[in-house]
A = this chain, B = another copy of it.
Amino acid sequence: MSSIKVPDHLPSPAEDCEQLRKAFQGWGTNEDLIISILAHRNAAQRSLIRNNYAETYGEDLLKELEKELSSDFERIVLLWTLEPADRDAFMVNEATKRLTSNNLVLVEVACTRKSIELFKVRQAYQVRFKRSLEEDVAYHTSGDIRKLLVPLITSLRYEGDEVSKTLAKSEAKILHEKIADKEFNHDEVIRILTTRSKAQLLATLNHYNNDYGNAINKCYQTAELRATMSNECACFQDLKDDPNDEYLKLLRTTIKSLTFPERHFAKILRLAINKLGTDEWALARVVASRAEIDMERIKEEYYRRNSVPLDRAIAKDTSGDYGKMLLELIGHGDA
């Protein structure tokens, strides 16, 4: 569920553009006005505003924002204003660059977007960078990490809910055998995690829990149970062999992002906020990409794990226009 609030009486894109233009003019910039408009328009509406702005003033709204704003506030406004597929293309490109390399972002985008959306990210990537996403990911990685990332970011998972129980049972067995033998990078482990539909994978992980999990983990059956359980699934636990191994971390992120994305995002937010100095990039990434999708559910998961509402945690950790923008996007009570 989306956390942004679009006003009942929506101004036309032309009216919004006029207001934005005003916000940029004269002495200083009217940040409050910018926030009051952009934070309360959905992706389709923001796209209309960008088009209208280019037609009316002959300038790219994004370029204008870049000129007027700065620092953390600039980043969140720009990320938010980009088309979702283009935003993802930008973020995964950053993640493949040497200096800003971040394989977790690649796994996150590959596993939490719908199949068709991931495809649009790949198209947007080519338009922006004149190369394919898989080309850059494969070029900048090697070994087990490449073996996992390339099929993940090129996947077009089936999204129907048909599930084969026989397959779930046999593939749970394969996963368990390979993991028990510490063959974490086995072709079959990667095949199962990178190609099966989310519904099929959930069935397989449930079988894993039932057949090979300890008692505490045998509660992964339904979405409701998943939401109340305090432990991760057995397969996830069994992949904690070496907590610092990057490949294993990415495998765990794959499983969590595919089967329980809200919990994945809640964890990323927790780590970003608790970090000394706050990881503003991670915070902006999750807020910009999830506000319109499942932020309400992420807030629930965040509260369940931290006993503090997300809005209060963000209000405490951020300030100024930047903090205001984040709070408008995630929706806030009295924070």
Q: How many residues of A contact B (CB 8 A)?
A: 32
Q: Are A155 and B132 in contact (CB under 8 A)?
A: yes
Q: Which residues of B contact A196 (CB under 8 A)?
A: 135
Known: A151-B154, A187-B142, A187-B146. A130 touches B195 (CB 8 A): no
Known contacts: A134-B155, A155-B154. The answer to whether A139 contacts B197 by CB under 8 A is no
Instruction: Produce 1/0 per residue, A154-166, CB < 8 A to B.
Output: 1111111010000
Q: Hey, which chain B residues are within 8 Å of A158, CB to CB?
A: 126, 130-132, 135
- Interface positions of A from 114 to 155, Cβ below 8 Å from B: 119, 122-123, 126, 130-135, 138-139, 142-143, 146-147, 150-151, 154-155
* Smallest CB separation, A127 vs chain B (Å): 10
**A142 to B, closest residue via Cβ:** B187
- Whole-angstrom distance between the Cβ of A178 and the nearest chain B Cβ: 14
**Alpha-carbon distance A39/B131, docked complex (angstroms):** 39
Inter-subunit contact A191/B138 (CB<8 Å): yes
Residue with the highest number of chain B CB atoms closer than 10 Å, among A123, A130, A147, A156: A156
Bound CA span A112–B90, Å: 29
Residues of B within 8 A of A194 (CB): 134, 138
* Nearest CB on B from A195, distance (A): 4
Question: CA A143 – CA B188 in complex, angstroms?
Answer: 10
Using CB atoms, name the residue of chain B closest to A141: B191
Which residues from chain B contact A151 at a C-beta distance below 8 Å? Answer: 134, 150-151, 154
* A127→B259 CA distance, assembly (Å): 23
Is B156 a contact of A122 with CB atoms below 8 Å?
Answer: yes
Do residues A154 and B154 form an inter-chain contact, with CB atoms below 8 A? yes
- 4 extra interface residue pairs, beta carbon distance < 8 Å, beyond A130-B162, A132-B155, A135-B158: A126-B156, A132-B156, A134-B155, A134-B194
20 contacts between A and B (CB under 8 A): A119-B119, A123-B156, A130-B160, A131-B197, A132-B156, A132-B157, A132-B195, A132-B197, A133-B156, A134-B151, A135-B195, A135-B197, A138-B191, A138-B194, A138-B195, A142-B187, A146-B187, A147-B187, A151-B151, A151-B154
